[in-house]
Amino acid sequence: SYQQLVSETETGLTRVFWGNVTVHVESQQALSYQKWYFDGGSTVFPFMTAIIDVKDGVVTGITWDDGCLFCAANDCQPTLYDFEGNLATEEEARQPIGGCGVLTPECAALNENGVGCDLLIYTVWTGTDSQGKDFRSSAYRFSAFPAQSWTDRISQNLPDWVPQSTEEVQDLNPLNQG
């Protein structure tokens, strides 16, 4: 959790594992590149999607999905590393290398009410199982949808009768009717 890996400097795992925290995904014989969860300083990268590629039930590779969907391009930071600790390039890794960070003070505020910056790794599968049936979960990864803010996602999926402004909301309130 965020609390154990980042914020509890005296009692948490940070006493044993200090500095940056990276994660990777394994399945069968395949390994992903390492991805930053915590940069060792002031930024946490809590949201990741691993894409596991399978051919006839055999895992052929693991890549990371685009982690820059929820921030502006200038806020996206490289977060992908090889197992020697070198920052990967998109050309070398043949996958997106960036992620959107959350500053630790913001994580601390979010964490007061729950698990705001805990590590979340979404996993999707692409390819075919051992019987040749297609996996379907990769269609639901975040990058499969148009990049937009959360408020845009909500407002664009609401039915037409839902108010689009605060004035309309006031008009629907029965206590305002007079």
Nearest to 123 by CA among 140, 148, 101, 105: 140
Cβ neighbours of residue 93 closer than 8 Å, sequence gap 6 or more: 33, 63, 80
Statement: residue 177 has pLDDT above 70 = no
pLDDT of residue 119: 86
Q: Are 99 and 68 in contact (CB under 8 A)?
A: yes
Instruction: For residue 19, give Cα distances in angstroms to 39, 41, 46, 143.
Output: 7, 8, 16, 30
Per-residue pLDDT reduced to its tens digit, 82-122? 999 899 999 999 999 999 998 888 888 876 665 678 888 89
